[in-house]
Amino acid sequence: MYLKCPVCKKEWNASLKVARHIFGNGDKAHRAWVNSQGVSFTDLLIRQATGSGNQGFMVLAKIVESSQDGTSGVAG
């Protein structure tokens, strides 16, 4: 199953890869989408940089997965 970036519609085979794409792109549209999901893009980046176990990527990957169903939800 391929997952689409909710902003630019590029596809990857894993939500973690979409999350990495969103962080790596970091343009205004991608940042705005993350912020619209009830999570701070900046806070996720800080969490990724300072935490262990790819915490920022994992949170964003869960949000990406939920967005594929048309639902939105904040992952903790």
The tens digit of pLDDT for each residue in 3-60 reads 999 999 999 999 999 999 999 999 999 999 999 999 999 999 999 999 888 999 999 9
Instruction: Name the residue with higher pLDDT: 4 or 72.
Output: 4
Strands (E), 6-75: 11-12
- Within a domain: 64: yes
Residue 74 forms part of a structural domain: no
Shortest CA distance to 3 belongs to which of 74, 69, 68? Answer: 68
Q: pTM of the entire structure?
A: 0.84
Domain holding 47, by residue range, is: 3-68
What total number of domains does the chain contain? 1
